[in-house]
Amino acid sequence: MLNNLISIFKVEVISSKKSSSDRSEILSRVKSIADQIIQIRLDTGKSLVFATPSTSELKMDYIAINNLFLYEHGVSLERVFVMRIIEKVKEMLVYTEQSLTQIVSALGYQNSSSLSNLLKKTTGFTSAHFKKIRKNKLEIIRRQQTE
């Protein structure tokens, strides 16, 4: 309880000390860090924790950053990271030939069911839907090339 109050106070201090553009910069940097971590995961196949790089890069306490996101956007840092992962998964399903199983492995997850469930819960669609979008896009491109 006390830690929560301290964190809320930190957000109020951050919000009052920093201008809107400073807060926007912090929020943009967090999203950029999330994207970098996702890319590292794809390059190495290793699962990296989101919190540590965020706090060290921004030189701010994780709870304070998290509360700033909650205050500004109504979502937690973890949710932001999950949403960035889902966007990357959707992009890879539509624009690459990789299967969800391959993407899961590339992102360092242990099994595909958790990411598959998360994709369905977040977007309302399964990976098959995004593969169908890919198929439709390729068909349109083929038709345009033959005309």
pLDDT > 60? residue 88: yes
Tokens for 36? 């970098």
Q: Cβ distance 58 to 96 under 8 Å?
A: no
What is the sign, positive or negative, of the torsion defined by CA atoms of 55, 58, 63, 68? Answer: negative
Q: Hey, how many other C-beta atoms are within 10 angstroms of the C-beta on 7?
A: 19
Q: How far apart are CA 114 and CA 118, in angstroms?
A: 6
Whether 60 contacts 22, CB under 8 Å: no
What's the CA gap between 9 and 76, in Å, rounded? 17
pLDDT digits (tens, 9 = 90+) for 45-61: 777 666 665 566 777 77
Distance between CA atoms of 142 and 64, rounded to whole angstroms?
51
- Concatenating the DSSP letter of every residue in 66-130 gives HHHHHHHHSS-HHHHHHHHHHHHHHHHHHHSS--HHHHHHHTT-S-HHHHHHHHHHHHS--HHHH
Mean pLDDT (the chain) is 80
Question: pTM of the predicted model, to two decimals?
Answer: 0.74
Note whether 77 and 50 are within 8 A (CB). Answer: yes
pLDDT band at 5, cuts 50/70/90? very low
**Is the model's pLDDT at 14 over the cut of 50?**
no
